[in-house]
Amino acid sequence: MKSFASLALVVTVSCTLFACSAAPPAADESEGAVEQTEEALISCGAAKYNQALVHYKNAVAWSKDRNANGACNSENGLQWSIADEASRAVMTCGQFRSIIKTSPWAAPLRTALAPSLTLRSLSGELAVIKDSDWQNWTGVDRFFTNGGLSFWARAEGAYGPAVRIDFKANGKATWGELYEKTPTEIAWRSILATYTITKSSNRESGGRILTVTRAGKTDKFSLGVENPLQYNQAPIFVLHPLGTGPVLGEGATAPKLYSLVSECDA
């Protein structure tokens, strides 16, 4: 186990090698977190480490603000903003994936993004970071079956997202949707649902199909990922409705769903 003093020595030596400086981690981090930071500094070099650290600190600070004051009362409290800043950190220095996954200081970030599959990509637990031929979905099933993931539709007009699915443990789920309560009133309702996950091919690393059943209706979705507008922003995980007809999406009773949502859009 290395002390803060020994880390400072490593930082000094590293800065001599890389001709720049890097600050030691915050004093409230545990010894193990200090060692992670040391590894990131040595692996990425002081210049990239310092760049990544700025984004990482922003993501954590924004998460703290969100967790304390709510998404809509925080200047940068939306999941999109936090995930993009965390992504900039890991795309600059990949060692920050393990820091996001386990560091005590990153706990607010993990809390803010907990319902999102995007967090598992940023932490390195899911080896999918963009839409490419090298997607590897191995192990993704457990993030659904352990419960806690949510997918949302994009906001529609003044009412917000039309559909939200909260995936819970043991194949249970809650299907939330907007509906016409009266000819002049749109309301929200929650419906008990169940779901299953199957592979779309014989490869363990291949895609997944989710089948969600509620109130006599069944929808199938293909789990996928979309690239963001900028390469260093967070990947966008989606559930594509497959429908039941011969044309892709035909017969679907749900829209496309996303792992990140602008909660304050209306």
**What's the CA gap between 193 and 231, in Å, rounded?**
36
pLDDT at residue 156, rounded to an integer:
73
SS3 of the chain: helix, strand, coil, percent, to 5: 40, 25, 40
With beta carbons less than 8 A apart as the criterion, state whether 163 and 255 touch: yes
Tokens 């990153």 sit on residue: 106
Tell me what the mean pLDDT of segment 137-149 comes to: 95
Tell me what the mean pLDDT of segment 255-265 comes to: 84
Tell me what the mean pLDDT of segment 149-162 comes to: 86
Stated pTM of the model: 0.82
The fraction of the chain above a pLDDT of 70, given in percent, is 83
pLDDT at residue 204, rounded to an integer:
93
CA-based angle 199:205:209, to the nearest 5?
25
Mean pLDDT of the chain: 85
Q: Which residue would you say has higher pLDDT here, 142 or 26?
A: 142
pLDDT at residue 173, rounded to an integer:
98
pLDDT tens profile 44-101: 999 999 999 999 999 999 999 999 999 889 889 999 999 999 999 999 999 999 999 9
**What's the CA gap between 33 and 36, in Å, rounded?**
5
Among 20-34, 125-139, 231-245, name the most confident range. 125-139
Q: Which residue would you say has higher pLDDT here, 120 or 33?
A: 120
**What's the CA gap between 58 and 194, in Å, rounded?**
38
CA-based angle 105:106:110, to the nearest 5?
145
